[in-house]
Amino acid sequence: MTKRVKEILGYYRSENPGVLSNLARLLNHGRLGGTGKLVILPVDQGFEHGPARSFAGNPPAYDPLYHFQLAIDAGCNAYAAPLGFLESGAAEYAGELPLILKLNNHDVLCDEKDPLPSQTASVKDALRLGCAAIGYTIYPGSSQARGMYQQLREIAEEAKSHGLAVVVWSYPRGTALSKAGETSLDVVAYAAQIAAQLGAHVIKVKPPTANLEQPEAKKAYEKNKVPMETLSERIRHVVQSAFDGKRIVIFSGGPMEGDEQLLGEIREIHKGGGYGSIVGRNSFQRQRQQGIELLQKIMSIYAG
Ligand code: FBP
């Protein structure tokens, strides 16, 4: 166990040994194992965005096993997916990499302004499939947020009681927010704080822009001159907002973009003290070899 991983586990001292062991599994696996940094492959876009939008650009990615192999060959810390994808390969790849079962999902066939994901799997499923963690999405800013917070509270309690780690996708969205507000610094930092307060061990947010959405928050940023000009400064602020860096905060990759643009963003996340990335479309929508190479370049940045 490295000093850094021990230090991070120390932030979760009140958790039971099962949870701590599973957090250690996530932190110690793959090319970044032991560094305290993580790169995770998430493949729930088939459900969240639809199969053609997700996989038509790289048809081998329709196959669930493709993603297990991609995560293993690239050296990711873990692979996260909904029930169907994990059930398809969990036995074949048993013990080869930590898995995160996403317990809720949302589709865009009825793309409501105030989304409410459905619970699509259980803690029992996660245990049966040998997962290290459960994943859960909340949409702070949705008029349905209260229900999501309550569901997460219950499911996190159950997951932790069985020794599973809890990963929360905290994505602001809903009628209360403007489109730009979904990724504005104050709102992303708020979303990270809410996930931390709900007991998340690992928090996933989108990289924040320099926009400020809420007038009262804007006053606080201006009065206190919170540094927010560069992406690395904004990342630092989001990490600080999750218990002063005492919760693991990772950042999503977003839609397909050029290598250099994405790598530039990753350098800023690293510089700002982000714990890592969760990169789906930018890895599996590229040809296999290119996807692996890009993931490895990302890992090299985090490895310092
Ligand atoms: P990407 O790297 O493809 O953005 O994946 C990260 C992720 O959180 C997925 O788990 C999820 O399906 C997707 O982003 C949601 O994206 P959006 O919020 O744009 O619908």
What does the pLDDT look like over 270-285, one tens digit per residue?
Answer: 999 999 999 999 999 9
Q: What's the pLDDT band for 201 if we cut at 50, 70, 90? A: very high
Percent pLDDT > 70 in the chain is 100
- Average pLDDT rounded to a whole number, residues 51-63: 98
The one-letter amino acid code at 261 reads Q
Residues annotated as part of the active site: 204
Cβ contact 70:291 at 8 Å: yes
* Residue of minimum CA distance from atom 4 in ligand 1: 254
Q: How far is the CA of 16 from the centre of ligand 1 (A)?
A: 30
User: What gap in Å lies between CA 242 and CA 193, rounded to an integer?
Assistant: 5
Q: How far is the CA of 225 from the centre of ligand 1 (A)?
A: 31
Q: Quick one: which atom of ligand 1 is closest to the CA of 204?
A: 8
Cβ contact 44:65 at 8 Å: no
Q: How far is the CA of 55 from the centre of ligand 1 (A)?
A: 14
* Residue of minimum CA distance from atom 13 in ligand 1: 45
Q: How far is the CA of 280 from the centre of ligand 1 (A)?
A: 7
Cβ contact 139:173 at 8 Å: yes
Residue 180 CA, chain-centre distance (Å), reads 20
* Beta-ladder partners of 249: 203
The one-letter amino acid code at 144 reads Q
Residue 210 has pLDDT above 80, yes or no: yes
Query: What pLDDT, on the 0 to 100 scale, is given for residue 24?
Result: 98
Q: How far is the CA of 254 from the centre of ligand 1 (A)?
A: 6
Query: What pLDDT, on the 0 to 100 scale, is given for residue 204?
Result: 98
Q: What's the pLDDT band for 290 if we cut at 50, 70, 90? A: very high
Residue 226 has pLDDT above 90, yes or no: yes
Query: What pLDDT, on the 0 to 100 scale, is given for residue 104?
Result: 98
* Residue of minimum CA distance from atom 10 in ligand 1: 42
Q: What's the pLDDT band for 119 if we cut at 50, 70, 90? A: very high
- Average pLDDT rounded to a whole number, residues 188-217: 98
Q: pLDDT averaged over the chain?
A: 97
Ligand 1 pocket mutation pick from 40, 43, 48, 103 by most atoms within 8 angstroms of CB? 48
Q: What is the DSSP letter of 117?
A: P
Q: Which of 117, 112, 106 is nearest to 174 (CA)?
A: 112
Ligand 1 pocket mutation pick from 252, 277, 283 by most atoms within 8 angstroms of CB? 252
Q: Quick one: which atom of ligand 1 is closest to the CA of 49?
A: 20
User: What gap in Å lies between CA 245 and CA 175, rounded to an integer?
Assistant: 30
User: What gap in Å lies between CA 236 and CA 228, rounded to an integer?
Assistant: 9
Q: How many CB atoms lie within 10 A of CB 29?
A: 20
3-303: CATH architecture: Alpha-Beta Barrel (3.20)
pTM, entire model: 0.97
| Helices assigned H by DSSP within the chain | 3-10, 17-28, 45-48, 51-55, 64-74, 83-89, 123-128, 145-161, 185-197, 215-223, 231-241, 259-271, 281-284, 288-303
The one-letter amino acid code at 188 reads V
Domain boundaries along the sequence of the chain: 3-303
Q: Quick one: which atom of ligand 1 is closest to the CA of 102?
A: 10
Q: How many CB atoms lie within 10 A of CB 60?
A: 14
pLDDT tens across 249-266, in order? 999 999 999 999 999 999
The set of protein residues with a Cβ atom below 6 angstroms from ligand 1 is 42, 44-45, 48, 169, 171, 252-254, 278-282
Residue 194 has pLDDT above 90, yes or no: yes
Q: What's the pLDDT band for 161 if we cut at 50, 70, 90? A: very high
Q: What's the pLDDT band for 111 if we cut at 50, 70, 90? A: confident
* Residue of minimum CA distance from atom 19 in ligand 1: 254
* Contacts for 148 with CB less than 8 Å, ≥ 6 apart: 116, 117, 137, 138, 139, 142
